[in-house]
Amino acid sequence: MSAANCHSQAEMHFKFLERFAPPSVIVDADDNIIHLSEGAAQYLQVDVGASTLNLLRVVDPMSRMDLGAALSRARQTANQVVARDVRTRIKGTPCLVDLWVIPAQDLAADLLLVIFDAKRQVVSSRTIPSRILEPIVQHMEQEINQLKAQQRESAEQHEELQEINEELRTATEELERSREELYSMYEELSTVNQELKSRVEEVRRANNDLQNLMASTNIATIFLDNELLIKLYTPAALALFSLISTDIGRRLSDLRSRLEYDSIVSDARRVLDQETIVEQEMRSVDNHWYLARFLPYRTGEDQVAGVVLTFVDITERRRLEMQLVNAQKMEAIGQLAGGVAHDFNNLLSVISGHSELLARLSTSDEPWQESIKEIRRATELAAASTERLLAFGRRQILKPKVLDLNAVVADAEKLMRRLIGEDVHLTTSLQAGLSPVCADLAQLNQVILNLAVNGRDAMPRGGSLILETREIEVDRADFKACPDVVPGRYVLLSITDTGCGMAPEVQARIFEPFFTTKPEGKGTGLGLSVALGIIHQSGGYLDVESKLGKGSKFKIYLPAAQEPAEAPRLAQRTHVDPVGGGETVLLVEDEDMVRNVTSLLLESLGYRVLKAANGQQALRLFETTPEKIALLMTDMVMPDVTGQEVAETLLGRDPGLAVIFQSGYTDDVMVRQGILDTQVAFLKKPFSREVLSRKVREVLDRPHCH
């Protein structure tokens, strides 16, 4: 028989066996069908010979759960499993079947044979001839042998996979060790990273603190590197150098400065090259003054890294320094003026006293009587000059009274109209109900007239002069130029002219002694200095506002007084004859000429005089003189022992002793404030015989209780 016939016959036998075998399928480990008999198709409704179908997906849903459980149990136990009376359908007709699941361990480890055994007979019981079954069995044996060969190949592949798995396990262990090393490195890096974060946070906080500090300072500061490129700047430098945010990295030479400073770049370069510090004061275009300091800054390695430029606004400091210099100059000149006035008044006392004695000794028709009168008038003019010197030095004795400022201005207006001329229009605006002020009437009138005359001189072609009064509340903000101002209620007198005004440099010096803008011979330069001294001595302030070509306004601030203003009193002048009754006067004076002429005047008034050149002599005379001394008349300023010390000592021995102080120099303990105590008898040199007469009689007639 040919091979083709044998193959055809074997195929026929297989088909025959396939047709009459019980319905069955063979599935792999994933329940995929790898063989399907013809009888099984009626349970699955698939074509015979179909493969790669999942059994559980194509079986009737009624039997799916039971079949899945049987498959799982057969695999777990490696024994056949029977699921009986499983409901299913055969060609749509419900029926009961027994499911046999048989492991084919001898053929393949993962194959299962599933047999569908219906309760009704579906296959005849006739016997299949052996000649038909043998080829079928042989063919199945061949199939099984092939399956075994495949199993052996699978085993070999399994061993190879085992080796590969071992290699993978080794590699996995190495990877695990590497992972642990990486984890350890990760922890170290995390620690380092945390430290870096902490340092970054510290740097951030420090940077914020620096930014806040730079934003809060009013010192203009610029940081430059070694190439003089801008690295950083404070907000205060924005306006001074017209900086913007994009200027970081620009060259210093490219900046537009508002300072009058041409060597800023060369000085910065000198700081870098010589590692020195440059310091200089300079002015800006808006007339502010700055202290510029250029200094190098260094790295941690002590290398010069760049230059720091700082600009401190010292305008206020310079103004205060100028005020201090002017105050010291005024104090020095005031002391000089006081000293000159003291010596001059002593000389005037001698001249005045002797002229009065000469006038009394001669008759009115004698030819030298007119000369004596001229001497006395010259003495009075010289005394007035010393008064101005003392007013300038703020050392004159004031006799303050509570005044109605409106009444003072109204009285002064009459005299001002004669002084200023017809081409100057004088107007007043006086606020009603002003609080009174406390001032020396004569001195206040002098200030008002002085300012009025100055206003007239500033208007050579005529103009307007306006006097205004009003009551205001003053605080320190209103007097930036006078930081020691005492806040409170003040009465303001302003004197405004429409004259030529003053330039700032002139305005800054107008209160300086002997400074004047008037032609030579037209002014002494003491008028405003004296006015300032009088107002300050009265507890007030004098301020000025002026613009060139716009006129000037002088403002006098006097503290408002609580007491009512005194009613004006008419001056009474009565002649007082000598009324001395032979009382003994102890005269203490260190200047010989003054002591002699005063003694002569007292004697001419009917008093007995004991003369002492100093305090020690006065004490000895007081102790050794048998008669009672009724009056002590002593100079205030003497060497060794002052007049006040002499008076205190003698009053301790005789509390009923009358005392008169005299001085041509008022900078002493009793009157260092320039205000004379009304309870203290005082004679200011030079004094006339009449004044001396009235003062001595007044003191002797006063009840004394010390």
| Amino acid (1-letter code) at residue 98 | D
Please, what sign has the CA dihedral across residues 389, 391, 392, 393?
positive
User: Does the structure show a pLDDT above 90 at 517?
Assistant: no
Model confidence pLDDT, tens digit, residues 345-357: 777 777 877 777 7
Residue 97's nearest CA partner among 66, 123, 76 is: 66
Query: What number of CA atoms fall less than 13 Å from residue 31's CA on the CB side?
Result: 16
Distances, alpha carbon 49 to alpha carbons 18, 118, 550, in Å: 11, 21, 125
For residue 610, name the pLDDT band (cuts at 50, 70, 90). Answer: very high
CATH class of the region 217-313: alpha beta
Percent of the chain residues past pLDDT 90, beyond the cut: 8
pLDDT confidence of residue 567: 57
User: Does the structure show a pLDDT above 90 at 493?
Assistant: yes
Instruction: Tell me if 288 sits within 8 A of 311, measured CB to CB.
Output: no
Instruction: Note if the bond before 686 is cis, omega within 30 degrees.
Output: yes
Q: Which CATH superfamily is domain 405-559 in?
A: Histidine kinase-like ATPase, C-terminal domain (3.30.565.10)
Q: What token pair was written down for 71?
A: 């498959």
Residue 223 CA, chain-centre distance (Å), reads 21
pLDDT confidence of residue 479: 65
Q: What token pair was written down for 539?
A: 């507890």
pLDDT confidence of residue 449: 84
Q: Count CB-CB contacts under 10 A for residue 179.
A: 12
Q: Greater confidence, 71 or 422?
A: 71
Percent of the chain residues past pLDDT 70, beyond the cut: 75
pLDDT confidence of residue 121: 39
Residue 617's nearest CA partner among 650, 656, 666, 661 is: 650
Cβ-Cβ contacts under 8 Å for 2 (sequence gap 6 or more): none
| Amino acid (1-letter code) at residue 380 | E
User: Does the structure show a pLDDT above 70 at 661?
Assistant: yes
Instruction: Tell me if 29 sits within 8 A of 7, measured CB to CB.
Output: no
Place of tokens 């009672």: 628
Greatest mean pLDDT among 11-25, 42-56, 119-133, 400-414 = 400-414
Q: Greater confidence, 404 or 90?
A: 404
pLDDT confidence of residue 469: 93
Model confidence pLDDT, tens digit, residues 97-134: 888 898 876 667 778 888 888 765 333 334 455 665 56
User: Does the structure show a pLDDT above 50 at 576?
Assistant: no
User: Does the structure show a pLDDT above 50 at 362?
Assistant: yes
Q: How far apart are CA 459 and CA 497, in angstroms?
A: 8
User: Does the structure show a pLDDT above 50 at 279?
Assistant: yes
Instruction: Tell me if 672 sits within 8 A of 652, measured CB to CB.
Output: no
Cβ-Cβ contacts under 8 Å for 269 (sequence gap 6 or more): 228
pLDDT confidence of residue 675: 39
Cβ-Cβ contacts under 8 Å for 237 (sequence gap 6 or more): 220, 221, 222, 243, 311
Could you give the 3-state DSSP secondary structure of residue 539? coil
- What's the pTM value of the predicted model, to 2 decimals? 0.43
| Amino acid (1-letter code) at residue 390 | L
Residue 485's nearest CA partner among 493, 473, 475 is: 475
For residue 632, name the pLDDT band (cuts at 50, 70, 90). Answer: very high
Q: How far apart are CA 28 and CA 39, in angstroms?
A: 20
Place of tokens 């001249």: 351
Instruction: Tell me if 536 sits within 8 A of 542, measured CB to CB.
Output: yes
* Residue 426, phi then psi, degrees to nearest 5: -100, 125
Cβ-Cβ contacts under 8 Å for 624 (sequence gap 6 or more): none
Instruction: Work out the average pLDDT over 380-391.
Output: 64
Q: How far apart are CA 591 and CA 665, in angstroms?
A: 13
pLDDT confidence of residue 527: 72
Model confidence pLDDT, tens digit, residues 314-341: 888 887 777 677 666 666 666 666 666 6
Q: How far apart are CA 61 and CA 88, in angstroms?
A: 8
**Ranges of each domain in the chain:** 3-146, 217-313, 323-390, 405-559, 584-701
Instruction: Work out the average pLDDT over 295-306.
Output: 80
- The three state secondary structure string of 509-567 is CCCCCCCCCCCCCCCCCCHHHHHHHHHHHCCCEEEEEEECCCEEEEEEEEEECCCCCCC
Instruction: Work out the average pLDDT over 67-92.
Output: 83
Instruction: Tell me if 81 sits within 8 A of 74, measured CB to CB.
Output: yes
pLDDT confidence of residue 304: 82
Model confidence pLDDT, tens digit, residues 215-227: 666 788 888 888 8
Q: How are beta strands 584-588 and 608-612 bridged, if at all? A: parallel
Residue 71's nearest CA partner among 26, 106, 37 is: 26
* Architecture in CATH of 584-701: 3-Layer(aba) Sandwich (3.40)
Q: Count CB-CB contacts under 10 A for residue 514.
A: 11
User: Does the structure show a pLDDT above 50 at 674?
Assistant: no
Helix (H) or strand (E) segment spanning residue 420: helix 405-420
Helix (H) or strand (E) segment spanning residue 321: helix 315-361
Instruction: Tell me if 221 sits within 8 A of 312, measured CB to CB.
Output: no
CATH topology of domain 323-390: Helix Hairpins (1.10.287)
Helix (H) or strand (E) segment spanning residue 220: strand 220-225
Instruction: Work out the average pLDDT over 283-310.
Output: 82
Reported in sequence order, the residue ranges of 447-601 that DSSP labels E, i.e. its strands, are 463-474, 488-497, 541-547, 551-559, 584-588
pLDDT confidence of residue 9: 58
| CATH code, residues 3-146 | 3.30.450.20
Would the CATH topology of 3-146 be identical to that of 217-313?
Answer: yes
User: Does the structure show a pLDDT above 70 at 636?
Assistant: yes
pLDDT confidence of residue 706: 44
